[in-house]
Chain A
């Protein structure tokens, strides 16, 4: 059972480039979300999805797009990378939003130069 798989683990981008961070889960979880972690700021919610075809914005959505065409996959797209998007990105999933702990992926460390 793989859990939540994120790829790539590390990425360096040039300012202005675009890329997609991949996230896949094999636990049939309805709820998936993306967070970024910056020093001293904890985790901040970027986008989330409560099921296939449904997405919504979190606390810091600007500069990011998501889609949820299947239950398993929830990719995060950076449209035009900026140095301010240098961060560690975590994908998480859960059976439901209310009282279930999230299962997190191992994270993607992104550097924008």
Chain B
């Protein structure tokens, strides 16, 4: 079964600095999708960024980028110029054959 691992339970970053949230995955399939979701303290789940396994370029969405290293099976989220509003739980997820699995999450705190 596919597995998603996020090894950082919590991360701190200074406002305006960059931060990387780690995510590794395990699958034997060649076709899959990788996602990052944000969950603020209010509890809703918000889709942020997607990377397909066949995409050659890293996905970017504004200040968010996904550092995709297929051979290492990693899909790290990079947030540049952190803002106070970036403080939240972040979940890495992988979708394969209608089965979306999530990691345990990383709580990011942005310090002023």
Contacts and interface: CB of A to CB of B under 8 A. Distances in A.
B102 A42 contact: yes
Contact of A45 (B33, B50, B99, B103): B99
Contacts of B99: 45, 48, 58
Size range of the interface on B? Answer: 20 to 34
Interface string A14-51: 00000000000000000101010000111111001010
B62 interface: no
Given A97-B95, A98-B33, A99-B52, A107 B104 contact: no
Contact of A40 (B31, B35, B46, B104): B104
Interface residues of A, number: 27
Nearest to B55: A99
Contacts of B100: 33, 45, 97, 102
Interface in B84-101: 91, 93, 95, 97-101
A99 B64 CA distance: 18
Interface of B: 1, 4, 6, 9, 31, 33, 35, 37, 43-48, 50, 52, 91, 93, 95, 97-105
Interface of A: 31, 33, 35, 40-45, 48, 50, 56, 58-59, 88, 90, 92, 97-104, 106-107
